[in-house]
Amino acid sequence: MSIDIAAEQNTHLFDARGVARRFRHSAIFGAIGALRSGETMRFVNDHDPIPLIAQLRERLGDNLTVTYRQRDADAVVIDFGIIGLPVE
């Protein structure tokens, strides 16, 4: 099953497949750190990033939401949302 990865309002697409593996986690942390409360990063990857999700949850706690949109052997799409942060 394939999902339309086009971003919706307040959703920003991050396709990790085009980022060198050794830079991915740093790039992802930076992208999520730039999100404001109520925004979502639609993350596309070639594998399920379970260790990354654990690291993000450790850093952001209850301010992070994780919603799998697609979970196939060749593609994973996850919406990482940010909630409950002070409005800038």
**10 part of a folded domain:** no
Smallest Cα–Cα separation from 62: which of 76, 81, 86, 78?
Answer: 81
**8 part of a folded domain:** no
**6 part of a folded domain:** no
**1 part of a folded domain:** no
What total of structural domains would you count in the chain?
A: 1
**4 part of a folded domain:** no
Q: Give the per-residue pLDDT at 9.
A: 80
**73 part of a folded domain:** yes
Domain span at 22: 17-82
Q: Give the per-residue pLDDT at 6.
A: 61
N- to C-terminal Cα distance for the chain? Answer: 38
Render pLDDT for 25-76 as a digit per residue (tens, 0 to 9).
999 999 999 999 999 999 999 999 999 999 999 999 999 999 999 999 889 9
**34 part of a folded domain:** yes
